Amino acid sequence: MRVIFKRLSSLAHLSRPLALTSVGVVLFALGLAYFFIALYRTVEMPGFVYYLTLQFLPRWSRGILLMGLGLATLVIGIWQLSGVAVIPLSTAPTNTGELVVGFQSTAAPPRIAVLSGGPGMLILASLGRHASSMTCITPVQDPVEYYYRASSLFRFENVYYVAPTGSMAQVEVELSNGQRYDIRQGLAHNQELAPYHVVGMRLIPPQTAEGTQPLLVTRHTLDALAEADAIILGPGSLFESILPNLLIPELREAIKASRARKIYVCNLMTEPGLTTGFGVAEHLSQIRTYGGFSPDYVLVNAQRIEPEVQQMYLAAHQSPVYLSPEEYEETSVSATDRVTRRQILVEGAVVIEADLASSQLQLTASLDRPGEGRTVRVLRHDPDKLAAAILEILRRG
């Protein structure tokens, strides 16, 4: 009832005009009824008028039926009217006293579920203040203590961390050199593996003395996915932070069954030993392979990188992940009454290119001389830019 009263309260400024309008409609209807009664008594009417005017029913029944239909129509009309924001002219920001209002009333803040790793979740944390709740589902191979410490340390607004399963599991990947590795081995930092990329991955459930322990998805995870208005994949390492949870059948099916908008935040740079040589299409193809679905949207950074920053990444065997015309799958046309907008589709996802990153100074340690370090400029997803892009997608309705 509180929700109903809250919505109807938007009509407070229209109470007097609505009352006058209702009285006018009633008086007009009575006058029209008298006119038709006089016309019916003086002019011979066709036979269908007998049924049209419900004369086969007693007059009391006719009155009750028409009042019921009229009341139902009135309630529907008032409810639809209450969905429009109403601003009194005395407070309207105009000098002419004329204001046309056509905005829908403000919707409730969205509920968001995030699949990413630690750094990606910290980047998205500022989005929590725009959401009624933001549930971050940690990677299945990560210890949850890391995220619990982060949540108690930073105390982000409306941000909650949940483990996807009751126990950790091992994620094994196969590289294009034919070798298999535990994803927790830090493959991206192994220079010998830089030329290769992942060609397969599998989930290894925990083993006990009784045998393989089944991975049971937590109720908090399933509820967050079922109730979410948006499911965000990333930002974060594709094979370390996003895909591991998609290897869990029950969690994967919950995402596929969800009606939430699925948004993938594509990596800014390729990862040595993991996504070497990958473009946007290859990143999305991996989600389809292991998740069985295509995101509704994919956010791709369109900012061009400073030459000195790009040189540093090239030395580390990393290259920018940009959208190339060769990856275009098709172009759809979204037409409205005013605008015709073309949308690029790649692997079934609508691609949105935007400025999503910013360069930052970062102190890196020397592997040869542990006591020394140097400051380098790196590229990272910008929290404010990324939050603005995601909120824009959610506002599209």
pLDDT of residue 193: 96
What share of the chain has pLDDT > 70, as a percent?
A: 82
Could you tell me if residue 198 is inside a domain?
Answer: yes
* 301 and 330 within one domain: yes
* 210 and 83 within one domain: no
* 43 and 127 within one domain: no
CATH number of the domain that 265 lies in? 3.40.50.10680
pLDDT greater at residue 89 or residue 284: 284
Could you tell me if residue 100 is inside a domain?
Answer: no
Chain mean pLDDT for the chain: 83
Are residues 337 and 385 in contact, defined by beta-carbon separation less than 8 angstroms? Answer: no
Could you tell me if residue 106 is inside a domain?
Answer: no
126 exposure class (CB count in 10 Å sphere: 0-12, 13-18, 19+): middle
Could you tell me if residue 380 is inside a domain?
Answer: yes
Could you tell me if residue 241 is inside a domain?
Answer: yes
Could you tell me if residue 280 is inside a domain?
Answer: yes
pLDDT digits (tens, 9 = 90+) for 224-259: 999 999 999 999 999 999 999 999 999 999 999 999
* 249 and 135 within one domain: yes
C-alpha distances out from residue 252 to 11, 123, 161, 242, 249, Å: 44, 24, 18, 12, 5
307 exposure class (CB count in 10 Å sphere: 0-12, 13-18, 19+): exposed
Both tokens assigned to 37: 């009664």
131 has pLDDT over 80: yes
Nearest to 26 by CA among 76, 81, 67: 67
CA distance 376 to 363: 6
How many independent structural domains does the chain possess? 2
* 257 and 219 within one domain: yes
Could you tell me if residue 350 is inside a domain?
Answer: yes
* 135 and 76 within one domain: no
pLDDT digits (tens, 9 = 90+) for 274-293: 999 999 999 999 999 999 99
Question: Last residue of a domain, which of 40, 61, 91?
Answer: 91
pLDDT digits (tens, 9 = 90+) for 359-384: 877 666 554 555 555 677 788 999 99
Range of the domain at 82: 2-91
Could you tell me if residue 291 is inside a domain?
Answer: yes
pLDDT greater at residue 342 or residue 290: 290
pTM: 0.72
pLDDT of residue 157: 87
344 has pLDDT over 50: yes
* 124 band by pLDDT with thresholds 50, 70 and 90: very high
C-alpha distances out from residue 156 to 93, 146, 159, 160, 227, Å: 35, 15, 6, 8, 20
pLDDT digits (tens, 9 = 90+) for 308-341: 888 889 988 999 998 877 666 555 555 443 344 5
pLDDT of residue 368: 52
* 233 and 296 within one domain: yes
pLDDT of residue 331: 56
pLDDT greater at residue 102 or residue 206: 206
pLDDT of residue 269: 95
